[in-house]
Chains A and B, each alone.
Chain A
Amino acid sequence: MKRRHFLGLLGAAGVTLTTGTKAKASDAADVAGLPNAFGVLFDASRCIGCRKCEAACNTVNELPKPDKPFDDLTVLDTERRTTATAYTVVDKYTPKAGENPVFRKIQCNHCMEPACASACFVKALKKTETGAVVYDASLCVGCRYCMVACPFNIPAYEYNKALTPRVMKCTMCYPRIKEGKLPGCVEACPKEALQFGRRRDLLNIAWDRITANTDKYVSHVYGEHEMGGTSWLYIAPKPSFAALGMDEHLGTTPAPELTAGALTAVPAVVGIWPVLLTGLYAVSKRKDRIAEEEKKAAVEAAIAKASAEAEAKLAEELTKAEVAGKRRIEVEVKKALEAAAKTSEGGEDA
Chain B
Amino acid sequence: MKNAKQRTGSLLVALALLGAGGLLSLMAGGGAARAQGDDKLRADILSIDELKKFGPLTQPPVVFLHDKHTAALGKQKQFYKKECGTCHLSDKDGTMFLAYQRDDKPMDADRIKETFHANCIGCHKKMAEDGMKAGPTDVQCKGCHNGNPDVASNWQPLVVDKKLHYRHAATQAESENKCGACHHIYDEAAGKTIAAPAPEKVPGACVYCHTESGTDVKGRKPEKIRSLRLATHGECVTCHRSIAAAGGKDVATGPTTCAGCHGPLDQKAIAETSRKKVPADADLRIKRGQPDFALVRPVKAEKPLVGADGKPIKDYGMPPVPFDHKYHESKNETCVSCHHAALTSCAACHTPAGDEKGGYVPLEAAMHKVEALQSCAGCHAAQQKKPECAGCHASMKKGVGDVSQCGSCHVPPQGALEQSVAEFMERRDKDAAAMAPGLAEKLLAGKRSETATIAVEDIPETVTLGSLAKDYQPSVLPHRKIVLSLVAGMKGDKLAGAFHATDTTVCQGCHHMSPASKTPPRCGNCHPAVEGTAATPRPTLKAAYHNQCMNCHTAMGISGKVADKAPGAKPVPKSTDCTGCHAAKKN
Contacts and interface: CB of A to CB of B under 8 A. Distances in A.
Interface of A: 38, 41, 46, 48-50, 73, 100, 177, 180-182, 186-187, 189-192, 195-198, 201-202, 205, 208-209, 212, 214-215
B533 A38 contact: yes
User: Top 3 A-B pairs ranked by shortest CB distance?
Assistant: A197-B535, A192-B543, A48-B575
Interface string B396-410: 010001000000000
A190 B534 contact: no
Contacts of B531: 182, 186-187, 192, 196
A178 B578 CA distance: 31
A69 B509 CA distance: 36
Nearest to B547: A191
B95 interface: no
A192 B535 contact: no
A48 B397 contact: no
Contact of A195 (B535, B546, B578): B535
A212 B531 CA distance: 23
A198 B535 contact: yes
A19 to B, nearest CB: 43
Given A46-B547, A48-B550, A215-B371, A205 B535 contact: yes
A187 B539 CA distance: 13
Contacts of B543: 189-192
A212 B533 contact: no
Given A182-B533, A205-B536, 10 more contacts: A46-B547, A48-B550, A48-B575, A73-B576, A186-B531, A191-B546, A192-B546, A196-B533, A197-B533, A198-B534
Given A49-B576, A192-B547, A180 B540 contact: no
A208 B371 CA distance: 18
17 contacts: A48-B550, A48-B575, A49-B576, A50-B578, A181-B533, A189-B543, A190-B542, A190-B546, A191-B550, A195-B535, A196-B535, A198-B534, A198-B535, A201-B534, A212-B397, A215-B370, A215-B371
Interface string B168-195: 0000000000000000000000000000
Interface string B337-376: 0000000000000000000000000000000001100000
Contacts of B534: 197-198, 201
A202 B575 contact: no
Nearest to B397: A212
A37 to B, nearest CB: 12
B100 to A, nearest CB: 35
Contacts of B536: 197, 205
B398 to A, nearest CB: 8
A38 to B, nearest CB: 7
A272 to B, nearest CB: 41
Interface string B535-559: 1110110110011001000100000
Nearest to A202: B535
Contacts of A73: 576
A189 B537 CA distance: 16
Contact of A50 (B371, B535, B576): B576
B437 to A, nearest CB: 35
A195 B575 CA distance: 19
B371 A214 contact: yes
Nearest to B539: A192
A192 B397 contact: no
**Most A C-beta atoms less than 10 A away, residue of B401, B531, B539, B578:** B531
Interface string B96-115: 00000000000000000000
Nearest to B371: A215
Interface in B499-558: 531, 533-537, 539-540, 542-543, 546-547, 550, 554
A198 B576 CA distance: 29
**Most A C-beta atoms less than 10 A away, residue of B370, B401, B535, B546:** B535
Given A46-B547, A191-B543, A214-B371, A201 B575 contact: no
A201 B535 contact: yes
B527 to A, nearest CB: 10
B138 to A, nearest CB: 33
A192 B540 contact: yes
Contacts of B371: 214-215
A205 B537 contact: yes
Contacts of B554: 100
Contacts of B546: 190-192
Nearest to B554: A100
A202 B576 CA distance: 26
Contacts of A215: 370-371
B403 to A, nearest CB: 14
A192 B532 CA distance: 12
A191 B531 CA distance: 12
Nearest to B385: A215
A214 B378 CA distance: 13
Contacts of A46: 547
A177 B534 CA distance: 12
Nearest to B559: A100
A313 B576 CA distance: 70
B549 to A, nearest CB: 10
Contacts of B540: 192
A65 B122 CA distance: 71
A76 to B, nearest CB: 10
A344 to B, nearest CB: 26
A186 B371 CA distance: 34
Contacts of B578: 50
Interface string B186-215: 000000000000000000000000000000
B537 A208 contact: yes
A198 to B, nearest CB: 7
Nearest to B395: A213
A201 B532 CA distance: 13
Nearest to A205: B537
A46 to B, nearest CB: 7
Contacts of A38: 533
Contacts of A49: 576
A223 B533 CA distance: 20
A102 to B, nearest CB: 12
A182 B534 CA distance: 10
A186 B543 CA distance: 11
A191 B575 CA distance: 10
Contacts of A192: 531, 539-540, 542-543, 546-547
Contacts of A214: 371
A32 to B, nearest CB: 22
Given A190-B546, A191-B543, A191-B546, A48 B533 contact: no
Contacts of B542: 190, 192
A180 B535 CA distance: 13
A117 B539 CA distance: 34
A10 to B, nearest CB: 38
B70 to A, nearest CB: 33
A73 B578 CA distance: 13
Contact of B535 (A41, A48, A191): A41
Interface in B444-475: none
Contacts of B575: 48, 50
A187 B535 CA distance: 13
Nearest to A214: B371
